[in-house]
């Protein structure tokens, strides 16, 4: 599947991206954790996480409860 940039995703909202980054900046979170904090549907959330990982703003890290997303220093 080809990566889609934020400009290619019609439903991409900057405020949702900001909410995700703000939540992750407090501490690393799983996609499920981010879903609970932001209320975004998990499939919608995955689109944002893909963009943020691609743009090197966040990185996935494997932890005890699954994949955690954390801010990359200077990525915010």
Each domain of the chain, given as residue ranges in start order, spans 25-56
Using alpha carbons, list the distances in angstroms from residue 66 to 16, 59, 62: 23, 13, 6
Using alpha carbons, list the distances in angstroms from residue 49 to 3, 13, 32, 37: 12, 13, 12, 14
Dihedral (CA of 7, 12, 15, 20) sign: negative
pLDDT at 12: 75
pLDDT at 76: 45
CA distance 18 to 56: 15
More confident residue, 64 or 12: 64
Banded pLDDT at 18 (limits 50, 70, 90): very high
């Amino acid at each position: 599947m080809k990566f889609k940039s934020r400009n290619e995703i019609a439903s991409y909202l900057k405020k949702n991206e900001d909410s995700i980054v703000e939540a992750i900046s407090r501490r690393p979170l799983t996609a499920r954790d981010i879903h609970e904090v932001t209320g975004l549907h998990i499939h919608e959330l995955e689109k944002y996480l893909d963009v943020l990982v691609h743009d090197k703003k966040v990185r996935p890290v494997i932890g005890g409860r699954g994949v955690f997303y954390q801010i990359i220093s200077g990525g915010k």
